[in-house]
Amino acid sequence: MNPTSDPGSEAVSPEGARPVARPQVVLGVSGGIAAYKACELLRRLTESGHDVTVVPTASALRFVGAPTWAALSGRPVATEVWDGVHEVPHVRIGQSADLVVIAPATADLMAKAAHGQADDLLTNTLLTARCPVVFAPAMHTEMWEHPATRDNVATLRRRGALVVEPAEGRLTGKDTGKGRLPDPGEIFELVVDLLTRARGTAAPVQDLAGRQVVVSAGGTREYLDPVRFLGNRSSGLQGVALARAAVARGADVTLVAANVALPDPAGAKVVRVETTAQLRDAVVVAAAGADAVVMAAAPADFRPANVSQAKIKKSGDGSAPALELVQNPDILHEISTRRVRPESVVVGFAAETGDDTGSVLDLARAKLARKGCDLLVVNDVSGGAVFGQPDNEAVILAADGAAVEVPRGSKAALAHAIWDQVAARLG
């Protein structure tokens, strides 16, 4: 934690042994209608043991008033450098922060930050902070796409700030497009990721900055008729963890999500699909310009040979319909063996139990060779499935013979272990 963090602010570690400093987070709020969504982010941060100082701009207070921020944070709220001058807040707040997150970040706030202007408490705080800084922009599409905003975003990113891409969807008026504030719960996940990786070190490494990565997640559905399908139990949690982790490391992320009932990770472009054919098409398009592709999805290997246009009815004689299946394309094999960019890194997953023909690792090595990918993340599922569980453990096998064991831990930890291997290979 930052050595200048408030020493009186402590929490007890999970083991109950030694008090640990509570992370000091500054939540900057600039003047956009999405300011109301920052209340949810604030609530999640305080409820999970973070000390949060909210620094709204004067315009932000036109959308959500100071009493709301003060009540939710349990701390006084100021917008100007002239409040409580004896405590030198324009310097102290930034200096003692472990992380600054601006949500929403307007075009105006980012323009000021890019040019080092400091005419209120938030912009002063940005100049004095030496910790990770995250901007979660929200604005109309035209403002986001304007060359002035593009330049300011590029400047902030070049200096090491994490500026997440806005989400697409309904905007304030009747229009839709890119510019929505990402889901507050997902901004929270990003903040936690950055704080976790920053613990005890300098600012977290954005070793995937400028890289385009594609992650597939979830399980496909193969329709029998308009209401029935063959599916599987993949939740998409590991794929979503991979997308979040890649955003936190600075990558430009496309998540191809097959039937994933989770919110879109902040900053990722999300393409939602249902069937293996749709998943294949979306992955092939996204992979064309990608530096890395991680196939964490569970595509069905087979689909019904014929899809009935009408709902299949029971026959009167009690007989069941015969189900004829045909094989689906192997997306991982296709992506690995027909690379548009030969230097790209392709990663597959394999859940194995081992059998008479070989151990889990024997079968996984054979699969790695068969698929033609660079890395294969192997789960030993002999003791039961991992679907929908928060934890995972795995071995990451490499085509060059290397093997990295990742001990049981969160799916976020496994995601980072995978990106460590990918980043090392991208050089």
Residues designated as active site: 232
Backbone phi, psi, residue 160, to 5°: 105, -5
Q: Does 332 bind ligand CTP (CB under 6 A)?
A: yes
Nearest to 135 by CA among 110, 155, 111, 112: 110
**Contact region with ligand CTP (CB under 6 A), list: 26-34, 53-61, 348-356, 405-413:** 348-356
Q: Considering beta carbons, is residue 245 or 332 the nearer one to ligand CTP? A: 332
Q: Does 132 bind ligand CTP (CB under 6 A)?
A: no
Q: Answer for the pair 19, 12: CB distance below 8 angstroms, yes or no.
A: yes
Q: Give the gyration radius of the chain's Cα atoms.
A: 24
Q: Considering beta carbons, is residue 113 or 335 the nearer one to ligand CTP? A: 335
Q: Considering beta carbons, is residue 184 or 348 the nearer one to ligand CTP? A: 348
Distance of CA 110 to the CA centre of its chain: 22
Q: Distance between terminal CA atoms of the chain?
A: 30
Q: Does 229 bind ligand CTP (CB under 6 A)?
A: no
Q: Considering beta carbons, is residue 114 or 214 the nearer one to ligand CTP? A: 214
Contact positions with ligand CTP (CB under 6 A) in 238-277: 276
- Counting beta carbons within 10 angstroms of the beta carbon of residue 232, is it exposed (0 to 12), middle (13 to 18) or buried (19 or more)? middle
Taking the complex as a whole, the smallest distance from the CB of residue 181 to ligand CTP amounts, in Å, to: 31
Q: Considering beta carbons, is residue 201 or 357 the nearer one to ligand CTP? A: 357
Backbone phi, psi, residue 355, to 5°: -155, -165
Q: Does 349 bind ligand CTP (CB under 6 A)?
A: yes
3-state SS assignment for residue 114? helix
Q: Considering beta carbons, is residue 79 or 379 the nearer one to ligand CTP? A: 379
Q: Does 136 bind ligand CTP (CB under 6 A)?
A: no
Element (H, E) at 195: helix 184-198
Q: Which two three-digit tokens encode residue 240?
A: 């979503």
Q: Considering beta carbons, is residue 34 or 418 the nearer one to ligand CTP? A: 418
Q: Which two three-digit tokens encode residue 393?
A: 């453990």
Select the residue interacting with ligand CTP from 114, 331, 346, 378 (CB under 6 A): 331
- Counting beta carbons within 10 angstroms of the beta carbon of residue 420, is it exposed (0 to 12), middle (13 to 18) or buried (19 or more)? middle
Q: Answer for the pair 56, 101: CB distance below 8 angstroms, yes or no.
A: no
Q: Does 420 bind ligand CTP (CB under 6 A)?
A: no
Q: Does 348 bind ligand CTP (CB under 6 A)?
A: yes
Taking the complex as a whole, the smallest distance from the CB of residue 418 to ligand CTP amounts, in Å, to: 12
Q: Does 89 bind ligand CTP (CB under 6 A)?
A: no
Select the residue interacting with ligand CTP from 330, 386, 397, 416 (CB under 6 A): 330
The count of residues interacting with ligand CTP (CB under 6 A) is 12
**Alpha-carbon dihedral angle through residues 31, 33, 36, 42, given to the nearest 10 degrees:** -40
Q: What is the rounded CA–CA span in Å between residue 119 and residue 112?
A: 9
Distance of CA 226 to the CA centre of its chain: 32
Q: Which two three-digit tokens encode residue 345?
A: 């890194």
**Contact region with ligand CTP (CB under 6 A), list: 19-27, 108-116, 233-241, 342-350:** 342-350
Contact positions with ligand CTP (CB under 6 A) in 151-180: none
Binding map of ligand CTP across residues 290-329, x = CB under 6 A, - = no contact: -----x-x-x-x--------------------------x-
Give the footprint of ligand CTP on this chain (CB under 6 A).
276, 295, 297, 299, 301, 328, 330-332, 348-350
